[in-house]
Structure 1
Amino acid sequence: MVKTIITLLMMIILFLGGTLFGIDQASEGIIQTRGYATADVKEAVQPSRDEAGNVEVELLGKDLQQVTFEEKEQEFQEIESSNFTQKLAGSMEKGVSSFYNLMIQSVYQLVQVFF
């Protein structure tokens, strides 16, 4: 019994050690792929404020602009009005699903009659 427990603990230690070694190797591989170490890396998100008071954010080298709520709402309305195909597919899905459920219930009731 003791030999089995020691063997099991050794297997667990080897598994966890291998996992930690693999994580370390993956981290080194990512650093080599990037071509730089984390000490030289700029921050991923770099916010700044211009003279007009607008906030400009640079996210991983891409400039993002501040957008007003009205502009986003208008864009959403345009997208929502153009999704006729999705609404049609949703209604067809509901119809097929209800037909399938009705068919299964009918077969179930028919089987109940005989058994």
Structure 2
Amino acid sequence: MKKFILKFFLLVITLFFGVLLGMQQANEGLLQMKGFDDKTFGGAFHLKKTEAGEVEAAVLGQEITAHDIEEKQKKLEEMKAFHFLSNLGSRLGDMLSIIFQQLTNLVVSSLDKALS
């Protein structure tokens, strides 16, 4: 049994390192397929600091400013302001919860009286 466990763990460790090596080789192959070494294509999200001390962000090559974020925040607040179906569903869910709670209390109390 000890030999089996030892062989099993050695096999698992060997396969794990093989997977890591394969991932590294795939990464190098993808970089070679591009045909050039451009660091701007390295990631999807980039942060850089300007000389004025401000931080600029880019996601998939598009610049993001604080103004864009504020506009999106306002749109989200407007969307949350009025959702008729969402409010209706929430109220219906609350009402059903209360009904099933009362129904459960009624069944439990009737069973308690019947068993006593």
TM-score by length of 1: 0.59
Q: Hey, what does 1:23 align to over in structure 2?
A: 23
Deviations 1:52-101 (A, max 9, x none): xx976432222334318875665344223222321221111111112122
Q: Which residue is equivalent to 1:5?
A: 5
Equivalence for 1:61: 61
Partner residue, 1:105: 105
Partners of 1:113 and 1:38 lie apart in 2 by 81
* 2:86 counterpart residue number: 86
* Alignment size in residue pairs: 109
Percent identical pairs in the alignment equals: 22
C-alpha distance in 1 between matches for 2:63 and 2:69:
19
Maintained 8 Å contact 1:46/1:59: no
8 Å CA contact 2:47, 2:55 repeated in 1: no
Partner of 2:46 in structure 1?
45
Once residues 27 and 49 of structure 2 are traced to their aligned partners in structure 1, the CA distance between those partners, rounded to angstroms, is: 31
- Residue 2 of structure 2 aligns with an amino acid whose one-letter code is V
